[in-house]
Amino acid sequence: MSKICLIAGCSHTVGAEIDGLIDSPFNRSHSYGNILAEKLGYKPVNIAVCGYTNSAIARSVLEWFSEHDTTDVFVLIGWSESARIEAPFEYPTWYQEQDGKYCDWFSKTSMDYLQININHHGFSEKEKDIQEDYKRFIVNRIEYTEITSANLVLLLQYFLKYKNVDYLMCNTGHMFNQDKIKHLNFYLNSIDNRKYYKYNNNNESFYMKYLNLGYSNPKAKYGHHSATPHKLYADELYNFIKANNDQ
């Protein structure tokens, strides 16, 4: 397999907790992204990191391309939920040691940012102090985080088109509430929906879809799917790619 599939995202794209661990080689090899890469005949290069915000996901792709040849690359981006914020941090963070230990390549710039998730409170007192302000902002200004995510989608869409790199985007969590946030319309209307799987339906995001279908993972502590939903989602994405290529 000469062509590679660059896979970027958060914990759902890592395949977190398939085997009960947050990250492991087994989880990544059984994640929907790695399975899709193999179905397409590509070598998977999974750079997803647990806890990544959409800002970190976008920057990790840009940073990877700044260091690698763009020949024979297909990109798969699994966007995280929009209700996360990346915050500049003056101390080195711990993501590589804990949540990106088994990355095929790690974005060094992510060491300079905190990935702020409503459900995570940080490890050090310095982290906890900075997080509360950002969490209040997320809760009170969800429309801002969704518009920011839409901008990041378009950033990578146009970047990859400029590079003449084929790609597919999908959602692993809640991204856009188009019916309630009118300011999203301009951005979402600019998305190439042939390259973005069901971007405007949160119930079709990887996590929500298979949760609503009744799948459960007894090994998971933090709400991640087992191997079966990953395989099923890889099949969905594969069929979507083939259907669009045949048009």
User: What pLDDT digit, counting tens, does each position of 2-37 carry?
Assistant: 799 999 999 999 999 999 999 999 999 999 999 999
Position 96 scores a pLDDT of 63
E-strand stretches of the chain:
4-9, 43-46, 73-79, 84-88, 113-117, 166-171
> 232 is written with which tokens?
């099923």
Contact 40/7 with Cβ under 8 angstroms?
no
Residue 121 — very low, low, confident or very high, per pLDDT cuts 50/70/90? low
| Phi-psi map region of 9: left, alpha, beta (phi>0 left; psi -120 to 50 alpha) | left
**Amino acid in position 68:** H
- Mean pLDDT of all residues in 56-69: 96
Taking the alpha carbons at both ends of the chain, their separation in whole angstroms is 26
- How far apart CA 157 and CA 228 sit, in angstroms, is 29
Residue 69 — very low, low, confident or very high, per pLDDT cuts 50/70/90? confident
List, for residues 166-202, the tens digit of each pLDDT value.
Answer: 999 999 999 998 777 788 999 999 999 999 999 999 9
pTM confidence score: 0.94
Position 246 scores a pLDDT of 66
- Judged against a pLDDT cut of 80, whether residue 234 lies above it is answered with yes
Q: Is 37 helix (H, G, I), strand (E, B) or coil?
A: helix
More confident residue, 206 or 97: 206
CATH 3.40.50.1110 for the 4-245 domain, yes or no:
yes
